[in-house]
Amino acid sequence: MADWLKLPSFLRRRKTEDHAEIAGCCSDYIDGELTEPMLSRLENHLSWCGPCTAFISSLRSTVDSLRGLPAKTPPPELKDAIRREVRNSKN
Ligand SMILES: [Zn+2]
């Protein structure tokens, strides 16, 4: 799991096995890859747990905004510069 997905402090307190379990599968949930019976457990948990709901919705908006970033294409002059450098380094 990436660093930015680390559990927020409210999920690390005691008696939070459920919250930790939810947090552990929330990225699958956001990707639509979570399957039963975990899917029902998660949705049931979200129906009463505000912090997990907030956590998942902020994670979802982060993931959505990352997906929304345009794929960057390097400018052609950069390609030329790299080719030139490679050619020069061979001499
Ligand atoms: Zn929770």
Condensed to tens digits (0 to 9), the pLDDT of residues 7-50 reads 666 555 545 568 888 889 999 999 999 999 999 999 999 999 99
Quick one: the chain helix, strand, coil %, rounded to 5? 65, 0, 35
State yes or no: pLDDT of 53 exceeds 90: yes
Share of the chain above pLDDT 90, in %: 47
Total-model pTM: 0.56
- Alpha carbon of 29 to ligand 1 centroid (Å): 14
- Alpha carbon of 4 to ligand 1 centroid (Å): 19
Largest CA distance in the chain: 68
- Alpha carbon of 2 to ligand 1 centroid (Å): 20
Which whole number is the average pLDDT over 52-81?
89
pLDDT of residue 14: 47
